[in-house]
Amino acid sequence: MTDATETRTPDSRPTGGLSAQYQPGEVEQRRYERWVSEGYFTADPKSDKPAFSIVIPPPNVTGSLHVGHALDHTIQDTLARLKRMRGYEVLWLPGMDHAGIATQNVVERQLASQQLSRHDLGREKFVEKVWEWKAQSGGAILGQMRRLGDSVDWSRERFTMDEGLSRAVQTIFKRLYDDGLIYRANRIINWCPRCLTALSDIEVEHTDDEGELVSIRYGEGENAIVVATTRAETMLGDTAVAVHPDDERYKHLIGTEVELPLTGRRIPIVADEHVDPSFGTGAVKVTPAHDPNDFEIGQRHNLPSITMMDERAVVTVHGPFEGLDRYEARPAIVAALREEGRIVAEKRPYIHSVGHCSRCKTTVEPRLSLQWFVNTGPLAQAAGDAVRDGRVTIEPAELSKRYFAWVDNMHDWCISRQLWWGHRIPVWYGPDGEVVCVGPDEEPPVGFTQDEDVLDTWFSSGLWPFSTMGWPDRTPELEKFYPTSVLVTGYDILFFWVARMMMFGLYAMDGKQPFDVVNLHGMVRDGHGKKMSKSFGNVVDPLDWIERYGADATRFTLARGANPGSDVPISEEWCQGSRNFCNKLWNATRFAMMNGATVEGPLPAPSELSAIDKWILSRLQHVIGEVDQYFETYEYAKICDTLYHFAWDDVCDWYLELSKPVLAEGGETTKRVLGHVLDQLLRLLHPVIPFVTEELWIALTGGETVTLAAWPVADRALIDDAAEEELAALQKVVTEVRRFRSDQGLKPSQRVSAALTGLGNVGIDTHEPLIRSLARLDRPAGDFTATATLAVSGAITVDLDTRGAIDVAAERARLEKDRAAAEKEAAQCRAKLGNESFIGKAPEQVVAKIKDRLATAEADLTRIAAALSALPTA
C-alpha cells in the first residue's frame, strides 16, 4: 500500500506550525510543563463532578523508573486521562515509600566508604544523615515519572515519612494495640544476617539453589532413626525427632528418647500429624528455634527451643563448632558426623528452594525472635468478605482465587524491624516492666524508654489510600475521593500489599474499602516470553527507550502487550514500530491540514456525504464503541490494537488515499469529515500516547488542550452498513490485485493493462477510476491479451495483460524459494505445537505467537500456490 502521507503539497498551506517530522524531544518536556503549570492535573475536592481517584503504588525513594514501573504508570495514566476527558474530577495522587531497609543500606554504604558505621554516628545523627540523602539524592524516580507523562497531582505529593503520614501510622498502631490486634511475642521470623533485621514475606526472594542433602543416623541399633536435612548445622539446636503417629516403622519408638550426635543430649521421639511419612525417611529433626514448622511442632509438644546461632548466623552452642559461621559449621559438622559413622547417605548437588533477602541477596535464616505482630485473623476475614460480597472487584476475576488463598490462610504479620530508618514503634517501657502504647497526641511517661525497633515499611504503605488524603482527620479529600476508584498493580504483590491495604482500609475507615477495583497486570517479559534478567542480558531500560523513541512509543509498546492478568512481552523492534505509528499520525495530520481539513462547523448531512465519507464515519463509530467496551474490561492491548489498525489501515492507508482526488478538487465535505475523524482519533489515542496527540490536536483544532477535551461518543445514526459493505468490496478488489502484483514481482509504479468485469454486481462500478488508480491498472488497449485472471469474491473478475512485465522463469524460481521457506516455517511451528512438553511450559502468549506464525505460513503457502498457477505458461 502506498503511504498516503508521502504526497507533498505546497508548503504554503497551513500546518499549524507542525514541523516536517515529529521530534519527541522537542515536544514532551514543553507540553508536560504546560500541563502542570496550567493545573490540568490538580484535583478539586469541592468540584461537583463525579470523582475518580487512584493512589499511585509508591515507588521506593531509592528507586529509578524500571520497565515494571513504566507499565504500571502507563496503565494508571491512561485511566486518569480517560476519566478527565469523560468529565470526572480526577485525583491521581503521587508519592514515595521510605523503603526502610533499602534506604538504610544506601546510607550505610556511604558511611562505610568513609570507614564509619551508623553506630559511630548514633541513632539521631544517622537519621539526620538519611534525611540529608533523601533531600539530595532520593526521589529521582519522580522526575522520571514526568518524562513518562504521568498526569499526577503534584500538589498532593506524599512521602511515607511525612509528618501527616507518620501521625496516621501512630494512630492506627495505637488503635490496633488497644483492640488487642497488635502484640509482642517470641515467634519464628525471616531474619537477614547481613541487614540484621526481620523481613516480611515479600522481602524474601526464593530461588532454586544447589546444596546438599545428608541423611544422619540418630541413636544405635534397633532404636536408631535416620533424618535428612539440607542444614546439618541446625542439628545443634534439635530438641526432638518427629514421626507420623500412624507410621508403622516408628510406632515402637514413639515416646522413647534418642541421643543427639555430637552433643551427648538425649531428645524425645514424638508423634505429629504434620510429618509426611512418604517424604525421605518419614522422620524429621525438630529445631523449634530455627524452622517455622518445627516451631509449631515444638509448641504442640511443649519442646524447648534452643537458639544455636546468633543474629549474624554464627554458632553460639558451646563446643568445637562455637564461633563458626553457618557455612563454616555445615561442612565441619558433616565431617564430624562422617567420622563417627553417622552419615547414612549424601546427595550432592541437591536443588532446593532457598530464601534470600531481596535487598542484599543474603540467605535468610528462620529465627526465633521477640518481635511485634499484627493479629491478622479478623482483619483478613474482613478483607476476604469485601471481595466476596462485591464491594471490591478483582480484574481479571480469575485472580480472585489467588487472593482468597492468601487472605483465608494468612499468618500473623511480623511488623517490627531492627532498623533506625522508619516509623519507630510507639511503645514505651517503664523501669518496673510497665508497657505503654503512646498515641500521636499523647506524651510518653517520664522515665520510660521507647522501643528500639521501627515498623515494617509495608505497615505504613498499607495505609496509603487514606493516609495520603489526610486521615485520621476527616478531610475534604477523603470525603470526595475515598474509596479510591481503582488500584493498578502487578499480580505479584496481590498477597502482600493489596491484602494489607484492604485490611487496614476496612479497619480504619469504618468498613469502607480502600478501592472499588483491583486491576492486576502481569510482569514485563522480553519478546520471546523470557523473564527479564541482567544475567540474560534482556533487561529493558524504559528511560533509554524514551530517549531514543519517545515516551509515547514506549507507552504504546507497553500498553499494546497488556492483557488482563497476563505477562507483557515487549521488544525493541516493537518500540520502533510504535515510534513509526506516532510518525504516521504526525504525517497524516500534517497532510490533512495542508489539504484543508477542518473542524469548524457541524458535520455535513448524510445526504451530502460520499460513500467513502459515510464509510469512515461508520467505522469511527464502531471503533469508539469497541474502545469504550475494552476500557470497561481493562483490556489495554485490545484498545491499542483497535486504534492502531483504525488509524493506520482505515484512516491512513484507505481513507486518505481514497480522498486524494476529492481533496485535490477542493471537496469541502471531505475536508470537514477528515478533520472530524482526526479530531476524534486523536482524542481516542490521547490517554495512551498523550504527547504527540496533544501537539497534533492543538494544531488541528486550535483548542487549548486535548487533556480536557470531551471523550468521543458513538453516534449510531452515523453507522452505515451499506457504505461499509460497498467499501469492503472495493478494498477486496484493490487488495487482491496488489497482492497479485506483489507476488509476481511487479514494481509498485509499473502499470498493467486490465479488464474489470462484475463491479456492478456489488455496486462499486462508480468507483472504477479509483480502483484503477489505487491498483495501477490501465484500461485495455487494442492489443490487450489476458495472461492472468483473478477471481474476486462477488463475481468480480480481473483479467490482466502481464506480457513484458514479468520474467516468468525468474519469478517462478523466486516463488518456489518462498514456498520452500514457508513449508519449513510451517513444519517447525507444527513440531513445537505438537510437543506436549513445550506446550505445558511455554507462556500463553508464546504459544499464541507460534500459532499465529503457523497460520501465516499456511496462508503464504496458499497464496504462493495461487501465484504460481497464475504465471503465464510462456
Q: What is the DSSP string of 397-460?
A: GGGHHHHHHHHTTPPPEE-EES-SSS-B--EEE-TTS-EEE--TT-PPPTT-EE-S-EE-HHHH
* Those residues with Cβ within 8 angstroms of residue 161's Cβ, 6 or more apart along the chain or in another chain: 98, 422, 423, 460
**Cα 673 from Cα 679, distance rounded (Å):** 10
Strands 752-757 and 568-570: what pairing? unpaired
DSSP 601: S
Residue 803 main-chain phi, psi, to 5 deg = -60, 130
Whole-number Cα distances in Å, 143 to 33, 65, 81, 95, 284: 12, 9, 19, 12, 54
Of the candidates 383, 402, 414, the residue with the CA atom closest to the CA atom of residue 201: 414
Whole-number Cα distances in Å, 357 to 99, 363, 366: 14, 6, 12
Sign of CA dihedral 44, 47, 51, 52: negative
Q: Which three cell numbers stand for residue 196?
A: 540484621
**Cα 460 from Cα 863, distance rounded (Å):** 62
Of the candidates 367, 387, 463, 536, the residue with the CA atom closest to the CA atom of residue 162: 463
- Asked if 289 and 368 count as a contact pair (C-beta separation under 8 A), the reply is yes
- Asked if 142 and 157 count as a contact pair (C-beta separation under 8 A), the reply is yes
Angle between helices 542-549 and 67-85 (to 10 degrees): 60
**Cα 620 from Cα 712, distance rounded (Å):** 10
Sign of CA dihedral 492, 493, 499, 501: negative
Q: What angle do CA 632, 71, 464 make, to 5 degrees?
A: 80
**Cα 518 from Cα 499, distance rounded (Å):** 11
DSSP 778: E
Give the distance, in angstroms, between the CA of residue 152 and the centroid of all CA atoms in the same chain: 19
Tell me the residue type at 208.
D
Tell me the residue type at 594.
M
Q: Helix, strand, or coil here: 269?
A: strand
46 assigned to a ligand binding site: no
Q: Which stretch of DSSP H or E encloses residue 345? A: strand 343-357
Residue 296 main-chain phi, psi, to 5 deg = -65, -40
- Asked if 66 and 496 count as a contact pair (C-beta separation under 8 A), the reply is no
**Cα 93 from Cα 469, distance rounded (Å):** 9
Centre a 10 Å sphere on the Cβ of residue 348 and count the other Cβ atoms it contains.
Answer: 9
DSSP 651: I
Binding residues: 534
Binding residues for ATP: 534
